Chains A and B, each alone.
Chain A
Amino acid sequence: MVGVGIEIEKLCVGYDKTRVLHDIDLEINSSEFVALLGSSGCGKTTLLKSLSGFIKPMSGEIRVNGSNVAQLPPDQRNMAMVFQSYALWPHMTVRQNIGYGLKLRGMAKEQINRKVDELLVLLGLADFGDRKVPNLSGGQRQRVALGRALAVDSPILLLDEPLSNLDARIRLSMRHEIRSLQQRMGLTAVHVTHDREEAMVMADRIVILNGGHIAQVGTPLEVYEQPKSNFVATFMGAENEISLTVERANGTLSIAEQEAVKAASLSVSNEIGDGGVNWQATTAGSALGRFRSSAAHLRADETVPEGHLALAGRVTQLSYPGGVFRYEIESAGQLYMIDDPCRYAVGDVVTICVPAGGLHLYSEAA
Chain B
Amino acid sequence: MSGQSMSVGPGRTGALLLVAPALLMIGFLFVYPFGYSVVSAFTDNGEGSWHIANFTKAIEFYSKDILFTIVIVSLSTAIIGILAVAIAGYLTLGENPTAVAILKWLYRWPLFIPFIVSAQLMRTFLAKNGMMNNILTSSGIIEPLAAQSYLDWRGIVITFVWKQTPFVALLVAGAMASIDRTTIDAGRIFGASRLRILIELVVPQIATTLMVGLILSYVVMLSVLSVPLMINAQSPTMLTVDMAWRINSYGDYGVANALGIMSYLFTGVVAWFYLRQSLKDKGA
A interface residues (Cβ-Cβ under 8 A, vs B): 52-54, 73-75, 77, 79-81, 83-85, 87-91, 100-101, 104-105, 132, 134-135, 148, 152
Contact = CB atoms under 8 A, between A and B. Distances in A.
B185 A88 contact: no
B205 A90 contact: yes
Interface in B149-195: 180, 182-183, 185-193
Contact of A75 (B192, B200, B207): B192
Contacts of A135: 284
Contacts of B207: 91
A80 B205 contact: no
A89 B190 CA distance: 13
Contacts of A104: 190-192, 196
A104 B192 CA distance: 6
Contacts of A54: 185, 188-189
B86 interface: no
A55 to B, nearest CB: 11
Nearest to A54: B185
Given A83-B182, A89-B183, A101 B190 contact: yes
B182 A85 contact: yes
B219 interface: no
B190 to A, nearest CB: 4
B3 interface: no
B204 A105 contact: no
B101 to A, nearest CB: 15
B191 A75 contact: yes
Contacts of A79: 189
Contact of A87 (B186, B192, B200, B204): B186
Contacts, number: 65
Interface residues of B, number: 19
A74 B189 contact: yes
A84 B183 CA distance: 11
A6 B183 CA distance: 26
B79 interface: no
A91 B255 CA distance: 46
Contacts of A77: 189
Of the listed residues A53, A91, A132, the one surrounded by the most CB atoms of chain B closer than 10 A to its CB is A91
B28 to A, nearest CB: 44
Contacts of B284: 132, 134-135
B147 to A, nearest CB: 45
A84 B192 CA distance: 20
Given A88-B183, A88-B186, 4 more contacts: A75-B190, A85-B182, A89-B205, A100-B192
B203 to A, nearest CB: 9
Nearest to B95: A73
A74 B205 contact: no
Contacts of A52: 189
A85 B180 contact: yes
A58 B186 CA distance: 23
Nearest to B179: A90
A29 B163 CA distance: 58
A87 B185 contact: yes
Nearest to B186: A87
A87 B190 contact: no
B70 interface: no
A87 B180 contact: yes
Given A89-B201, A132-B284, A100 B190 contact: yes
B183 A87 contact: yes
Contact of A83 (B185, B191, B204, B205): B185
A74 B200 CA distance: 18
Contact of A101 (B180, B183, B191, B201): B191
Of the listed residues B182, B187, B191, the one surrounded by the most CB atoms of chain A closer than 10 A to its CB is B191
Contacts of B192: 75, 100, 104
| Nearest 3 CB-CB pairings of A with B | A87-B182, A101-B190, A91-B204
Interface string B199-225: 011001101000000000000000000
A255 to B, nearest CB: 52
23 contacts: A54-B185, A74-B189, A75-B188, A75-B190, A75-B191, A77-B189, A80-B190, A81-B186, A83-B185, A83-B186, A85-B180, A85-B182, A87-B180, A87-B182, A87-B186, A88-B183, A89-B183, A89-B204, A89-B205, A101-B191, A104-B190, A132-B284, A152-B191
A75 B196 CA distance: 12
A296 B186 CA distance: 47
A89 B182 CA distance: 10
A147 B179 CA distance: 22
B133 to A, nearest CB: 43
A120 to B, nearest CB: 18
Nearest to A134: B284
Contacts of B205: 89-91
Contacts of A88: 183, 186
Nearest to A92: B204
Contacts of B186: 81, 83, 87-89, 148
A320 B193 CA distance: 55
A105 B193 CA distance: 12
A89 B191 CA distance: 15
Nearest to A79: B189
A91 B196 CA distance: 15
A109 to B, nearest CB: 16
A74 B185 contact: yes
A44 to B, nearest CB: 16
B193 to A, nearest CB: 8
A261 to B, nearest CB: 52
A84 B193 CA distance: 23
A328 B141 CA distance: 86
A122 to B, nearest CB: 19
A73 B188 contact: yes
Contacts of B182: 83-85, 87
Nearest to A160: B182
